[in-house]
Structure 1
Amino acid sequence: MSFNIEKQLAKELNLKVGQVKRTINLFDKGNTIPFIARYRKEVTDSLDEEQLRGLAERLDYLRRLEERKEEVINSIDKQEKLTEDLEIKIRQASQLQELEDLYRPYKQKRKTRATKAKERGLEPLAELFLKQELILGDVKDLAKEYVDPAKELESIEEVLQGVRDIIAEYIADDPYSRRTARKLTFEYGSLVSEAKVEERTDYEVYYDYQEGIKKVRPHSTLAINRGEKEDVLRVKVATIDESIIDKLKQNFILEESIFTKEIEEAIIDAYNRLVAPAIEREVRSHLTELAEEHAINVFAKNLRNLLLQPPLSKVRVMAIDPGFRTGSKVSTLDEFGKFISYDTIYPHPPQKRWDEAKEKLSALVKKHDIDIIAIGNGTASRETESLVVELIGELSRDLKYIIVNEAGASVYSASKLAVKEFPDLDVSIRGAISIGRRLQDPLAELVKIAPKHLGVGMYQHDVTESSLEESLKDVVESVVNYVGVDLNTASSALLEYVAGINSNVAKNIIKYREENGKFKSRDELKDVYRLGPKTFTQAAGFLKIREGNNPLDQTFIHPESYHIAEKLLHRLDFELEDLSKKEVLKSLQDKIKSLDLNDLVEELEVGLPTLKDIVSSLAKPDRDPREELPKPIFRTDVLKFEDLEVGMVLQGTIRNVVDFGAFVDIGVKQDGLVHISQLSDKYIKNPLDVVAVGDIVSVSILEIDSQRGRISLTMNF
């Protein structure tokens, strides 16, 4: 009758028991999720990362549940109250709440009204009441025998009150009471909020609010929680109290007896004083948990799409971090992101050295052969944009500019990592370098900044920080391993997210590279201090080496499968060196397309999923999945807010996706909003179903609110 974790997981997640067992075994041996997802598909039957994370989270929950069961059983057993039936119920519990409901009657309590009544010797009388066996007589006669001033029982009423207190606690502790109240409250209850203030606030929409618990939207929960915390709102859970009390009466009143009236009073007290407040806390906690989970999921999806923005390889960039009084910081970067030079210009008030700024920028563009100018989107961004447009118009060369979201650049520039990278540079210059580099390789640069500072979330200040950070860390880890890392250029911040590598090993890789020069092979990783065989197995496939000794080192093929890749190449009459020859690669790709992989599985002694991955990597050895996404929009002319007209059609980049729509950068200072109702001509439940951060979209202007600087857009035209 014991609880089987593997069977429970298989049932919950719609998987096979054997599949679950094998995957749990991989977890228990210390394998990382990215490694399992990519390199152990035969073992897991090709579970993807999302499925693996879901399984790992639920596995952790159920294992903690099992530990708690043992604690509960031991505690009840020590009280000599453990029965066979109770132990079976405890062991079969699949939820922590269910287990705690079973344990509640046996939990050691602090002083309560019921414990005080028991100390005064009223428990036997309460037990007599609960048996409900007498239909003749008067409860007062029974109570009279317990009147004892020495025990602070001065009257019959005090005795009866003590008995009711004991019965109330017994009823409140019974699993049936919690289960019934919980079920009916969640089914028919409502979240209610009202104003505690008279003045206007951001929470006005919740001044007179009532919504069924099952219908409360996540953002409403978080806003109501915040309003309550700021003492603007009074919040409660309303439910069908009378119906719940009737259910409790039906369960605990066995038949009409002389005790019925007293038990009824105890039931009402038990519900109002003990059960209802506890269930209200559960409801609020449940709604908050759902809302936080939703907010974190939205943030995580936005973050993933932001990190997957395509890199701009082989372009030389001039990055400008705009400012007024302290000037605009300018940095230049070569096509590999290497810092070249910096300067400061003062085109804006109070200095207004416009022409001088333009001359400086012109000289830098010519000297360093700049391809693109990246402008941070902070203070003075649009004024700087006007300067750059004027400059482009005067230069007889192919030069473009782009506005770059600088969220988090200031956080990075003051970080220990930035100080280590550029110890001799001012904080503001480091910020300009970050703006330029996040255009050249968004992932490599953005991993240096705590995800919560990247400006693609909403309500992140209302959720549990540890949960948010853990989820966002998982996203970054997933993206880094999905894209792969150049072992010879990656920063320690990037290496830390590679499967199996911690911060110390990442620093040791950097140190090894500094002392020995570029890595020539993946095998050389084994010489890195504290990078043992286990870490090598987890990380090697995600660490790429371009122009190394072995062309397979630039692919996602794991070293453990090199012999299979080599066998396949020889079978097709190709050599390893051919992977580096573009003219030969085309004929290899053609031959690969004609292969029947099912016929090769036995010959090469490999599973079909792994063989498919090997073939895919051989066809595109240096593939970067980000390069298949649309490139950002570059501009040569400025668009002002005053230029906008209703009906105008523009191209824009989606900067953030939230519950109620998407914010789009259309090239003016203020991002426009496409409300969820304007994202598609069909009903959309979640904006993320149709758009993502980084998408290039065509929009039409619906409405312009010049006073508030708001732009309403539509994608339905």
Structure 2
Amino acid sequence: MELSEEQTAGIRERILKQLAGELGIAHGRVKTAVGLLDEGNTVPFIARYRKEMTGELDETQLRDIEERLQYLRNLEDRKLEVIRLIDEQGKLSEELRGAIELSTKLQEVEDLYRPYRQKRKTRASVAKEKGLEPLAEWMLSQPRRGSLQDEAAKYINAEKGVGSAEEAVQGAMDIIAEQIADDAKVRAWVRRHTHDHGVLHTAAKDASVESVYEMYYAYQEPVKRLPPHRVLAINRGEREEVLKVSLEVDPARIHEYIAKQYVRPESVVRGELLAVVEDSYKRLIAPSIEREVRGELTEKAEEHAIQIFAENLRNLLLQPPVKGKVVLGVDPAYRTGCKLAVIDPTGKMLEIAVTYPTPPNNKVEEAKAKFKALIAKYGVELIVIGNGTASRETEQFVAALIAELKGQRSLQYLIVSEAGASVYSASKLAQQEFPELDVAERSAISIARRLQDPLAELVKIEPKAVGVGQYQHDVAQKRLEESLKVVVESAVNHVGVDLNTASPSLLSYVSGVNATTAKNIVKYREENGEFVDRKQLQKVPRLGAKTFEQCVGFLRIPGGRNPLDNTPIHPESYDVVDKLFRELRLELSQLGSAELKEKLGRLEPEELAVKLNVGVPTLRDILDSLQRPGRDPREELEAPIFRSDVLQLEDLKPGMELKGTVRNVIDFGAFVDIGIKNDGLVHISQLSDKFVKHPMDVVSVGDTVTVWVLGVDEKKGRVSLTMKKPK
């Protein structure tokens, strides 16, 4: 459908107005942001380097604009398609066109299109083929006089398959039932009423079978009060054919509403029309509205689960790196032994080994000798143990080893989540990195590196495999992957990337860089040596001017020719920095000096911005970057808890105070690593003395928290904790 320039401009303006209204952002700022996105600029680039243009919209606001813009553009495309399809049938009135154009949701458009959609064979379509539409129209005219039987008798036609007046009446009623079911206004009201007053019922298909869904074997809850995690749990139980699920709502009020739209009190066909209303609702409207309401519940629950996962993932990726230490990574196992990997402070693998300190081998002394030899040879300071199979026995072994070495050397250990390590180990990337190693040996390396630089290591793993989600396997996988990719991209660009050490996986998340360009950067580095200047990026094959503009500010070169290349300052602002240093009568080589910091601290950005002909937000960012060149924002976070002695479930007593690390945050609480095999649960009711709407309002993945033991279930290996200080 060809649109005039005026129509296209009208649609564009309609979208901008809706975006501004929905998101509560000034129209001009939305328009600028949309323009920048359409020019191929990425969200991290706009948020960091185009603050003056957007009025300092942050990354979250820009993501919201980008996401809703896509939805609204898709909506407008669908509107045009629906208008074209109805017009081709010769049934498009100006009133209908206007209603479609003013729709703000896809569901509204589909409701309006429903009567004109090509349907498979239905009872109504069969009745229309028999020529009964005029009889249906007569009934809908609500006649006050006449006889339905007499009118229906006119349509008896053996050739068309109408053998009696009763058959004719039934056919006409089927036509009316479908018309009611296709009424956009009726559907919208019934959908809303069902959501507000419906009750979801669940029952067991076989109550004698034990399962994790037992709480839902005879369960009911109002639809509007169903929490997202419960929706996904019920969906899974139904999918696994353990549960039967139904959505029930009292039909009386719905019948009453539809009757008001379609039945007049004085009509001679009132009784038949009331019967049609009940039939239309029961047979046609209720089943589809139940699917739609449950679909909407699922969509919202999935969106919520994805948001929880995304927030947890971001906090996990931004865990502080533990730098400057030689690390021994341990991937525990029983029969096949513990795989060991010694990693130097830069993440380089120094040596691989295997020991058998756990059952069934129990070669404890031999394992101790191997550990001691590696520790002495490389000056290992930290031992990192994966939390999978045999981790508890391995932890006990390591704690005993540390006790033996006490006084000889300072040594501590840490247990890290090994979620996704096996996924990485078997990946093509791991095979390229370590072709000579087997899967378990690569896993030990990944476990060690997770401590040294969580972000650089975890980006190699499919985000949904890192173990900080809630029902991640029950949500739309494409939507999950898109959301998590955005989170990783945001975290990578927030921290910045060392151009000379970054893997292709890490580089591919940098603003404007795709997987091919990332490989080309690494290939160029391997063939030409380390980058010494950001400008060299322009020599990388297939890295054009736009990509250079988008990515260069997020890439760092420590020790390069230009000290500014190790800061988040974009090369487009280097001339501003030159003017600033001339103003301060300092040399660029004094970057990081006490004198520079002292002078920068005295500056007034508002006055200086006019002198330097630069925007105040950009100048503030420049001054901050000059104050702390080479700063890693993760280093300001609390370091992980290192241990030297083992804590066992049997050691725990109610009231005991412990320090722990938050490993996962979900709707009903937070799981905290307190140094035993299984994480303890702090239920949402135990997070604070004040009311907590959601656990994320109180804790985040990676937080170090003080907890007290509430209870211990040794049989199930579960510990309940509280963050409320005992009185």
1: CA distance, partners of 2:248 / 2:357: 60
The 5 Å alignment of 1:457-606 reads: 457-579=469-591, 582=592, 584=593, 586-606=594-614
**Please, which of 80, 83, 89 is the counterpart of residue 99 of structure 2?**
89
Alignment of 1:235 with 2:234, yes or no, is no
2: CA distance, partners of 1:689 / 1:479: 20
Partner SS, residue 18 of structure 2:
helix
Letter in 2 for 1:520: V
1:656 — aligned with what? Answer: 664
Alignment of 1:323 with 2:333, yes or no, is yes
How far 1:436 moved relative to its partner? 0.7
Q: Does the Cα contact within 8 Å between 1:377 and 1:406 map onto a contact in 2?
A: yes
Moved more, 301-310 or 176-185: 176-185
Q: Does the Cα contact within 8 Å between 2:647 and 2:675 map onto a contact in 1?
A: yes
Partner SS, residue 585 of structure 2:
coil
How far 1:536 moved relative to its partner? 0.3
**Please, which of 76, 84, 88 is the counterpart of residue 74 of structure 1?**
84
Moved more, 402-411 or 258-267: 258-267
Q: Does the Cα contact within 8 Å between 2:334 and 2:360 map onto a contact in 1?
A: yes
Letter in 2 for 1:115: S
1:33 — aligned with what? Answer: 43
Deviations 1:169-190 (CA, angstroms, capped at 9, x unpaired): 1111111210121121122112
Q: Does the Cα contact within 8 Å between 2:207 and 2:217 map onto a contact in 1?
A: no
1: CA distance, partners of 2:496 / 2:555: 6
**Please, which of 49, 58, 65 is the counterpart of residue 75 of structure 2?**
65
Partner SS, residue 518 of structure 1:
coil
2:30 — aligned with what? Answer: 20
**Please, which of 192, 202, 220 is the counterpart of residue 212 of structure 2?**
202
Unaligned stretches of 5+ in structure 1?
none
The 5 Å alignment of 1:436-447 reads: 436-447=448-459
2: CA distance, partners of 1:642 / 1:261: 74
1:263 — aligned with what? Answer: 273
Moved more, 483-492 or 269-278: 269-278
How far 1:227 moved relative to its partner? 1.4
Letter in 1 for 2:224: K
1:311 — aligned with what? Answer: 321
How far 1:542 moved relative to its partner? 0.5
Letter in 2 for 1:676: I
1:345 — aligned with what? Answer: 355
Alignment of 1:48 with 2:58, yes or no, is yes
How far 1:41 moved relative to its partner? 1.2
Partner SS, residue 246 of structure 2:
strand
Alignment of 1:687 with 2:695, yes or no, is yes
Letter in 2 for 1:136: R
**Please, which of 98, 103, 109 is the counterpart of residue 119 of structure 2?**
109
Deviations 1:151-209 (CA, angstroms, capped at 9, x unpaired): 11001100000110111111111112101211211221121212221223211211222
Alignment of 1:248 with 2:258, yes or no, is yes
1: CA distance, partners of 2:602 / 2:90: 73
2: CA distance, partners of 1:426 / 1:78: 63
How far 1:255 moved relative to its partner? 5.1
- Which aligned segments of 4 or more residues in structure 1 are displaced greater than 4 angstroms? none
Deviations 1:617-662 (CA, angstroms, capped at 9, x unpaired): 1111111010000001111112222222221111111111111111
Q: Does the Cα contact within 8 Å between 1:196 and 1:232 map onto a contact in 2?
A: yes
2: CA distance, partners of 1:300 / 1:706: 33
How far 1:90 moved relative to its partner? 1.1
Q: Percent identity?
A: 57
1: CA distance, partners of 2:154 / 2:249: 40
How far 1:348 moved relative to its partner? 2.1
2: CA distance, partners of 1:625 / 1:296: 25
1:143 — aligned with what? Answer: 152
**Please, which of 161, 176, 193 is the counterpart of residue 167 of structure 1?**
176
1: CA distance, partners of 2:42 / 2:378: 44
How far 1:614 moved relative to its partner? 0.8
The 5 Å alignment of 1:397-476 reads: 397-476=409-488
Moved more, 680-689 or 348-357: 348-357
Aligned residue pair count: 712
Letter in 1 for 2:332: P
Alignment of 1:188 with 2:197, yes or no, is yes
Q: TM-score, normalised by structure 1?
A: 0.98
2:719 — aligned with what? Answer: 711
**Please, which of 650, 655, 674 is the counterpart of residue 647 of structure 1?**
655
How far 1:254 moved relative to its partner? 4.1
2: CA distance, partners of 1:629 / 1:239: 51
Deviations 1:70-112 (CA, angstroms, capped at 9, x unpaired): 1111111111111111111111111111111111122222211
How far 1:573 moved relative to its partner? 2.0
1: CA distance, partners of 2:656 / 2:141: 79
Deviations 1:572-611 (CA, angstroms, capped at 9, x unpaired): 22221111xx5x2x22222222211111222212111111
The 5 Å alignment of 1:117-156 reads: 117-132=127-142, 134-156=143-165
2:634 — aligned with what? Answer: 626
Letter in 1 for 2:27: V
1: CA distance, partners of 2:643 / 2:212: 37
Q: Does the Cα contact within 8 Å between 2:648 and 2:676 map onto a contact in 1?
A: yes
Give the superposed CA RMSD: 1.3
Partner SS, residue 151 of structure 1:
coil
Q: Does the Cα contact within 8 Å between 1:300 and 1:475 map onto a contact in 2?
A: yes
Q: TM-score, normalised by structure 2?
A: 0.96
Q: Does the Cα contact within 8 Å between 1:177 and 1:275 map onto a contact in 2?
A: no
2: CA distance, partners of 1:594 / 1:190: 64
**Please, which of 333, 341, 363 is the counterpart of residue 343 of structure 2?**
333
Alignment of 1:360 with 2:370, yes or no, is yes
Q: Does the Cα contact within 8 Å between 1:218 and 1:292 map onto a contact in 2?
A: yes
Unaligned stretches of 5+ in structure 2?
1-6
2: CA distance, partners of 1:482 / 1:605: 26
Letter in 2 for 1:448: K
Partner SS, residue 159 of structure 2:
helix
Letter in 2 for 1:82: L
Moved more, 472-481 or 407-416: 407-416
Deviations 1:288-333 (CA, angstroms, capped at 9, x unpaired): 0111111111111111111001001111111111222111111111
1:214 — aligned with what? Answer: 224
1:638 — aligned with what? Answer: 646
